[in-house]
């Protein structure tokens, strides 16, 4: 069943008198539990596609349906709520809240939803961190964690609300190869265990074999995708 259905997406930025086409009639679908690697050079439109898929940007043309929600015409407030409840993000630079412990960084998601981080939320945060191999790090601040551990906390944060779709923006770019592979292995395990759809933007072709399918993007255009796993 399709979780992400992007059809005929165009995204045009205006720069002075010139229109810059970041995405040109891009169409992509991602199913439950499917991991798609999005590969392309800098400036090819990867970030724009990921942003539109996650409700961070709205397309100039085309439709975006995520988990049954057509978000193409959502306003900023609707998109904020949509992201909070339906999408997980793991960013290139880990971007945890520096003054919160690993556990609290997961509970932020709960608080942003207007909750108070009650017992159930804390239990879920701990169990997620244990699952990610961070059971002994729940009370540590990000500054006390290694790069790989921080990225695992970020994955925990992305998974906290049981999102339908998780978007990874170059999750291994700040890690060495060995840790990067461990993180990719973890991502694959977690996505498959939850039957959660994921798009992983990467430059690194060595990481694409962790995805089920690789989609190339060049000058805002997508290819049909190659099955890689």
DSSP string over 31-69: ETT-EEEEE--TTSSHHHHHHHHTTSS--SEEEEEETTE
Closest contact distance (angstroms) between CB of 141 and another protein is 8
Name the residue nearer to another protein (CB basis): 54 or 180. Answer: 54
Task: Could you list the beta-strand ranges (E) of 123-196.
Answer: 165-169
**Binding status of residue 171 toward another protein by CB under 8 A:** no
Strand ranges, E, within 48-134: 61-66, 69-70, 87-90
Token pair of 72 as six digits? 């193409």
Among 5, 169, 190, 212, binds another protein (CB under 8 A): 169
Q: How far is the CB of 186 from another protein (least distance, A)?
A: 20
Asked if 201 and 25 touch (Cβ cutoff 8 Å), the reply is no
Query: Site residues for another protein, window 110-149 (CB under 8 A)?
Result: 111-113, 116-117
Touching another protein, residues 178-217 (CB under 8 A): none
Contact assessment for residue 150 and residue 94, using Cβ atoms and an 8 Å cutoff: yes
Residues 98-117 that bind another protein (CB under 8 A): 98-100, 104, 107-109, 111-113, 116-117
Distance CA 181, CA 209 (A): 10
Tell me if 51 contacts another protein by CB under 8 A.
yes
Residues contributing to the site for another protein (CB under 8 A):
46-47, 50-51, 54, 56-57, 77, 80-81, 83-85, 89, 91-93, 95, 97-100, 104, 107-109, 111-113, 116-117, 157, 167, 169-170, 173-174
């Amino acid at each position: 069943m399709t979780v992400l259905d992007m059809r005929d997406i165009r995204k045009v930025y205006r720069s002075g008198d010139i229109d810059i086409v970041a995405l040109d009639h891009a169409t992509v679908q991602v199913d439950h539990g499917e991991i798609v690697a999005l590969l392309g050079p800098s400036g090819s439109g990867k970030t724009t596609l990921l942003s539109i898929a996650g409700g961070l940007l709205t397309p100039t043309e085309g439709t975006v349906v995520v988990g049954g929600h057509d978000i193409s015409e959502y306003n900023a407030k609707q998109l904020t709520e949509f992201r909070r409840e339906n999408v997980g993000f793991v960013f290139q630079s880990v971007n945890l809240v520096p003054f919160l412990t690993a556990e609290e960084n997961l509970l932020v998601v709960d608080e942003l939803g207007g909750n108070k981080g009650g017992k159930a939320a804390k239990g879920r945060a701990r169990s997620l961190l244990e699952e990610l191999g961070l059971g002994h790090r729940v009370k540590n601040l990000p500054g006390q964690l290694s790069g790989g551990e921080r990225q695992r906390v970020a994955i925990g944060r992305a998974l906290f609300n049981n999102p339908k779709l998780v978007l990874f923006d170059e999750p291994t770019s700040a890690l060495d190869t060995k840790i990067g592979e461990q993180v990719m292995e973890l991502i694959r395990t977690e996505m498959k265990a939850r039957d959660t759809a994921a798009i992983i933007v990467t430059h690194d072709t060595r990481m694409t074999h962790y995805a089920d399918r690789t989609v190339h993007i060049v000058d805002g255009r997508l290819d049909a995708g190659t099955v890689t796993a």
